[in-house]
Amino acid sequence: MKSVLQFIFWLLVAFVALFLAIVLGERGAWYLAWVLGTVMIILIAVAGTVMLDARYEDDPLE
Amino acid sequence: MELYVVLKLIWWALLGVLLIGLAVMVGMDMGVGAALRYLGRNDGERRAAINMIAPHWDGNQVWFILGGGAVFAAWPTIYATAFSGLYVVMLLLLWAMIVRPLGFEYRSKMPSMGWRNLWDWSLFVSGAVPMIVFGAAMGNMLEGVPFHFSWDMVSYYTGSFITLFNPFAILCGLMSLALALYQGATMIMGRGEGVIRERAIRLATVSGPAALVLFTIGGLWVMFMHGYVITSGADPAGPALPLNKTVTREAGAWLANYGAVPVLWIIPGLVYAAIAAGVVAARRGAAIVAWWAGAVAWAATISTVGAAMFPFLMPSSSNPSQSLTVWDASSSAGTLGWMLVFTLIFVPIILVYTSWAFYVMRGKVTPASIENDDHAY
Amino acid sequence: MHSLDTVVDLSRWQFAATVLYHFIFVPLTLGLSMLLATIETVYVITGRAIYRQMTLFWSKLFAINFALGVATGLTMEFQFGTNWSTYSHYVGDIFGAPLAIEGLMAFFLESTMVGLMLFGWGKLSRGKHLLVTYMVALGSNLSALWILIANGYMQSPVGSTFNPATMRMELTSFSNLVFNPDAQAKFVHTSIAGYLTAAMFVLGISAFYMLRKRHIELAKRSFRVAALFGIFASIAVICLGDALGFINGADQPTKLAAMEGLWKTAPAPAGFNLIAWPNQAEQKNEFELQIPYLLTPLVTHSFTESIPGVDALEKQAAQRIRNGIPALVALKTLREHPNDAAALAQFNAHKADLGYARLVQRYAPDVSNATGAQIQKAAADSIPPVAPVFWSFRIMVAAAFLMLGFLILAVNYSLRGTIVDKRWFLKVAPWMIPVPFIANEAGWLVAELGRQPWTVYEQLPTWISASTHSVGYMIFSLTGFVLLYSIFIVIEMYLMVKYIRLGPDDDGHGATESATQPRVSQWSEA
């Protein structure tokens, strides 16, 4: 049950993000958005993956 | 001279540069593909030959794609008329070229010899067919192609596709194949060792002179062929509409430019000089000199045709007055200008990183080195 | 006339078949190149061998996919000339430029660098190799940019005008062409859809390994990077989809009406058809499940703007056809008497609707004698086929939200480190791989079917755009493409599945395969 609620919570967060982006981006500067967005996606994915290894290093069992 | 005229002339020259780049760079890989089963007698040797061009064939092939795009942008009427008129031939060319990336990429992905032999033959077809079509298309341009336009510029092609493979066109196709084989052989000479290298030298010393013989026969043929002459209505600065002039056909007219400007005879002379020098260099094993000699031979061959036909690009044999020329088949001045800006910026950049790529991947490739290389095809 | 229609139909089938096929491989190239660069970045930062192995493994699959993308792309570059010669002449002055720039700026970069990426591992330093991988990713996405600028022109022809002296459209503003709102939104939408496709692809395969308890370390890390990469992509792709709908709503009302199955103009705020069964002949929905008031805010971002339905759009089209006819008549006069000032004035007064006059030219070759019935018929043509557009759109949107939900779970499980135990999720994930591909194809159908009956919106009708080939030629070429492409897809899928099953080279984990195959590593490397 807890995880269902959490899923719904994150779904709601995603919808809020969608809504904000839509309101902000009616005829937006999309080329710039693409550059910034791509850089952001890569950085977050890299950081999240590096974190995964960092966690294993802290964990003596691994 | 008006700016528009200058732009048209620049783009005429750039069309030549494109065709030369395409012929040299793509032709080289096609030559290797077409001669693959001669250069390598067993799987290890063939893999070595393929891996000599493996890091570069894709980049080189862009010359072909860029050729399509640049003709579309700068000579849209040629793009529309030539590619639809030569429909069946274009399809053969495309189908052959589509198989090629798969041949390189998939051939060594399976250990079965049947599988590999199949892809070897597909590389042979996809090397030989496009080069023959390339030359045959040039031959057809010299002869003229049967097409006309309606009042609102819808083009109609009235010939059958068999006529596109007439004897003169096939002669041009074979010459193009011979030069491609020469170019491929000089590439393999540079990066191969031992028996592969010796076969490549033999191939270069045969295909070079063969190309010269075909070039000579073709030249004599053109002297007596019906060429095209604009008799009135040509307006170099005028709008790009090929319906306002009159053109007649005359025997030997393709030599008119050479008669008017005798210094042009240097260009066909250069074909002989370059191939002769190239064959001597190949015999001595000087691969780089031989390669560059082949490039010069290609450049001179294509320039010879261009100088003969100027200002024609694609004459119509059925309605000569609607022939496409430098003056009436181009884009608007604005598009030509913008495209020139992009060309001037990006072509130097392309040359820099292409040279860098060749520099990084320099060195000999042998069957043994392929065995130990996890990344080879 | 009959055989002309057949040739145009066959040309359309050929174009759709070859481009939809090409578009199977392209989004994966766009996204996977970027994802590869991301993984390699982690390798360069951490220096851990596992990330090198990951990069190598995914780039092997990338190469199999890339080869077919390049091969089928060759067809596209030339097909405008071979099969759409009237189109090519009519708009080549504008449309050709982005195609050529694509070659100069993007495709050269991508193709030269891809050779170094695949073959340069031993010859380049880590940093330089990473740079090369980024150049591949940049090159492939810039390719998409210029292609979509060209496509944007077909959807919303800006920066150009018809020149009667050359009988074609000519460029008036290069910057309008490049900064076309349609092209901007569509590029970002398509590029990010590629990211999403790649993320789903990597997630599905990684889940497959975890399920089989093979290559666990590689799979867990690949799963993490793809989940994070994908979650943002899925959100962005939905945003951009909305932006594109908003732009289309303003620029292409006929496409919007077809997407929403909107036959009658309804008072604002109009209801949104969640499901419907559109009937084109009777101009109504046989059945509809509507959410009241939702449509207007969804597409106009307001509550009061009215959205024209098919009924109003057809009336408008009939009006524009009538207004365009004098332009076409004057154009013909101008061809015979280039200096006729009256004809030029008439042409300029009506030239905005020249394209509409060409719609009725199909039924009345001499448009000056067009009857009311013929005009009505041409006006009905101005509406795209509603049912396929309506359903493609819904399939695409449903797929997008399905992936968003899936990715939220994927990120959640990955960050908690519980993913390996979620067997049901791992079982579902491989079956999600086709979803983005279906969404991509559906998206193409919405964009291009929704543009009908035009090749260039409101300027050049499709029926007049094709080359004047015989039916026999078209059957020959279509058969050839279908045969060749069918063989290719079988080979490609076979190799892809084989290499996925084989897994990365990590000596030991893939023991089941190496037991049955002699010395795998001798030939398994690409």
- Structure confidence by residue, pLDDT tens digits, B272-284: 999 999 999 999 9
Of A14, A41, A55, the CB nearest to C195: A41
Query: Which partners does chain C have (≥3 C-beta pairs < 8 Å)?
Result: A, B
Complex confidence, ipTM: 0.89
Same structural domain, C369 and C405: no
Give the distance from residue B301's alpha carbon to the nearest chain C alpha carbon, in angstroms: 25
Of C68, C89, C170, the CB nearest to B80: C89
Q: Chain B residue with minimal CA distance to C334?
A: B151
- The chain-wide mean pLDDT, for chain B, equals 90
* Per-residue model confidence as pLDDT tens digits over C191-227: 999 999 999 999 999 999 999 888 888 998 999 999 9
Compute the distance between CA of residue B200 and CA of residue B205 in angstroms, rounded to an integer: 9
Domain for residue B374, yes or no? no
Number of domains in chain C: 2
Same structural domain, C318 and C402: no
Domain for residue B88, yes or no? yes
Last residue within a domain, chosen from C383, C404, C433: C383
Domain for residue B148, yes or no? yes
Say what the pLDDT of residue A26 is: 52
Same structural domain, C126 and C150: yes
Please give the residue range of the domain that contains residue B132: 3-336
* Per-residue model confidence as pLDDT tens digits over C318-369: 999 989 888 888 888 888 888 888 888 888 888 889 899 999 888 888 888 8
Say what the pLDDT of residue C306 is: 81
Task: Say whether the B–C interface has 3 or more Cβ pairs within 8 Å.
Answer: yes
Domain for residue B347, yes or no? no
Q: φ, ψ for residue B19 (rounded to 5)?
A: -65, -35
Please give the residue range of the domain that contains residue C303: 261-383
Domain for residue B120, yes or no? yes
Give the distance from residue B175's alpha carbon to the nearest chain C alpha carbon, in angstroms: 24
Tokens of C501: 């099953």
Tell how strand C160-163 and strand B324-325 pair up: unpaired
Same structural domain, C411 and C439: yes
Residue among C95, C94, C98 at smallest CA distance from C106: C98
Last residue within a domain, chosen from C331, C355, C383: C383
| pLDDT higher at C508 or A30 | A30
Compute the distance between CA of residue C70 and CA of residue B62 in angstroms, rounded to an integer: 10
Q: Which residues in chain C have Cβ-Cβ distances shorter than 8 Å to A14?
A: 235, 404, 408
Same structural domain, C518 and C426: yes
Q: φ, ψ for residue C163 (rounded to 5)?
A: -110, 110
Give the distance from residue C235's alpha carbon to the nearest chain A alpha carbon, in angstroms: 7
Of A18, A28, A53, the CB nearest to C235: A18
Of C46, C181, C228, the CB nearest to A45: C228
Confidence grade of residue B313 (pLDDT, cut at 50, 70, 90): very high
- In chain B, the percentage of residues whose pLDDT exceeds 70 is 99
Q: Chain C residue with minimal CA distance to A46?
A: C42
Same structural domain, C287 and C420: no
Give the distance from residue C418's alpha carbon to the nearest chain B alpha carbon, in angstroms: 35
* Per-residue model confidence as pLDDT tens digits over B3-40: 899 999 999 999 999 999 999 999 999 999 999 888 88
User: What Rg, from alpha-carbon coordinates, does chain B have?
Assistant: 21
Compute the distance between CA of residue C502 and CA of residue B223 in angstroms, rounded to an integer: 62
Domain for residue B341, yes or no? no
B vs C, Cβ pairs < 8 A, gives: 263
Q: Which residues in chain A have Cβ-Cβ distances shorter than 8 Å to C220?
A: 52
Task: Say whether the A–B interface has 3 or more Cβ pairs within 8 Å.
Answer: no
Same structural domain, C130 and C279: no
Low-confidence ranges of chain C (pLDDT < 50): 1, 507-526
Tokens of C416: 């908690």
B335 and C67: CB-CB below 8 Å?
no
| pLDDT higher at B41 or C512 | B41
Give the distance from residue C185's alpha carbon to the nearest chain B alpha carbon, in angstroms: 24
Do the Cβ atoms of C220 and C410 come closer than 8 Å?
no
User: What Rg, from alpha-carbon coordinates, does chain C have?
Assistant: 26
Q: Does C138 lie at the interface with A, CB-CB under 8 angstroms? A: no
Is the pLDDT confidence value at B241 over 80? yes
Say what the pLDDT of residue A19 is: 67
Cross-strand partners of C276: C288
Amino acid letter at B287?
A: A
Say what the pLDDT of residue C130 is: 93
Q: Does C408 lie at the interface with A, CB-CB under 8 angstroms? A: yes
Domain for residue B186, yes or no? yes
Q: φ, ψ for residue C54 (rounded to 5)?
A: -60, -45
Last residue within a domain, chosen from C328, C359, C383: C383
Same structural domain, C205 and C302: no
C221 and A52: CB-CB below 8 Å?
yes
Q: Which residues in chain C have Cβ-Cβ distances shorter than 8 Å to B81?
A: 85, 89
Number of domains in chain B: 1
Q: Does A2 lie at the interface with C, CB-CB under 8 angstroms? A: no
Averaged over A32-37, what is the pLDDT?
82
Residue carrying structure tokens 């071979």: C82
Q: φ, ψ for residue C382 (rounded to 5)?
A: -70, -5
Q: Chain A residue with minimal CA distance to C50?
A: A53
C112 and B79: CB-CB below 8 Å?
no
Same structural domain, C170 and C269: no
Same structural domain, C398 and C455: yes
Domain for residue B94, yes or no? yes
Same structural domain, C95 and C224: yes
Is the pLDDT confidence value at B299 over 70? yes
Same structural domain, C402 and C379: no
Q: Which residues in chain C have Cβ-Cβ distances shorter than 8 Å to A27?
A: 181, 243, 246-247
Using the 8-state DSSP alphabet, how is residue C105 labeled?
A: I
Is the pLDDT confidence value at A29 over 80? no
Of C100, C170, C331, the CB nearest to B69: C100
